[in-house]
């Protein structure tokens, strides 16, 4: 917030007499009083994402115009710039080491004021899969399992017909069929023509 300067206007009148007439001269003198600095931005906090960019500004009013100075922990990704009577800090590719307190100081021959900016790192949001996606994933897995089981049954049935070593009854439990198929793949031949249903 800009603070108005206090001014005093003094008017001088000079009268000169040269024995014939009077001459009047008027003059106005404006005196500006000195005013302590006041920082425009005040104290505040700012959030920045990890690897994000952020700019912190500082400007001040006063008479005479105050000098501005930032106090902070130096880092390679922090750059200080001046535009007119404003000093800015630009942080690019923010890291956790950039989080903390940054102090702007404004000083003139009347006084000194400071303002703080607290820079906070935003926590990364965990991506949460939507419930609908999880349901479709579950349905897809069930379909894949059913297709694999059907393919295994077809392969087992064809293998058993071709080998002639194992006679499978259609009434046998699926687990028995799969275990016989696994045994046949490992080279173990079961010589049995026994129907397991009776």
The CATH number that applies at residue 53 is 2.60.40.10
Q: Tokens for 100?
A: 């903390």
Name the strands in the sheet holding 100-107, side by side, starting at the edge strand that comes first in the sequence: 44-48, 112-121, 100-107, 67-71
pLDDT bin (cut points 50, 70, 90) of residue 131 is confident
Crossing angle of helices 174-185/131-163, nearest 10°?
60
Sign of CA dihedral 175, 177, 178, 184: positive
Question: Could you tell me if residue 6 is inside a domain?
Answer: no
Which of 121, 154, 169 is the C-terminal boundary of a domain? 121
**8 A C-beta contact, residue 108 and residue 66:** yes
DSSP three-state, residue 21: coil
Residues 97, 141: one domain? no
- Domain interval for residue 90: 35-121
Question: Could you tell me if residue 29 is inside a domain?
Answer: no
What is the value of pTM for the model shown? 0.51
Question: Could you tell me if residue 79 is inside a domain?
Answer: yes
User: pLDDT tens-digit profile of 84-122?
Assistant: 889 999 999 999 999 999 999 999 999 999 999 999 998
Residues 163, 106: one domain? no
Residues 70, 146: one domain? no
Question: Could you tell me if residue 22 is inside a domain?
Answer: no
Which of 121, 146, 177 is the C-terminal boundary of a domain? 121
Domain count, the chain: 2
Please name which of 149, 151, 129, 147 lies closest in space to residue 139, comparing C-alpha atoms.
147
User: pLDDT tens-digit profile of 147-192?
Assistant: 888 888 877 777 666 555 444 444 456 656 666 665 565 554 444 4
């Amino acid at each position: 917030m800009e603070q108005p300067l206090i001014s005093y206007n003094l008017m001088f009148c000079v009268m000169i007499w040269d024995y014939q007439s009077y001459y009047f001269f008027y003059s106005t003198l404006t005196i500006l009083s000195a005013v302590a600095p006041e920082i425009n931005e005040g104290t505040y906090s700012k959030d920045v994402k990890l690897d994000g960019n952020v700019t912190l500004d500082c400007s001040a009013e006063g008479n005479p115009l105050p000098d501005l100075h930032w106090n902070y922990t130096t880092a390679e990704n922090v750059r200080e710039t001046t535009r007119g009577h404003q000093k800015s800090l630009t942080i690019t590719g923010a890291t956790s080491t950039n989080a903390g307190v940054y102090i702007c100081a404004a000083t003139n021959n009347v006084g000194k004021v400071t303002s703080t900016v607290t820079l906070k790192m935003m926590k990364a949001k965990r991506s949460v899969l939507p419930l609908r996606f999880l349901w479709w994933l579950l349905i897809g897995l069930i379909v894949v399992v059913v297709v694999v089981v059907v393919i295994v049954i077809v392969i087992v049935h064809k293998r058993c017909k071709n080998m002639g070593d194992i006679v499978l009854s259609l009434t046998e439990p699926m687990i028995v069929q799969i275990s016989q198929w696994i045994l046949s793949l490992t080279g173990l031949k079961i010589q049995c023509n026994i129907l397991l249903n009776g």
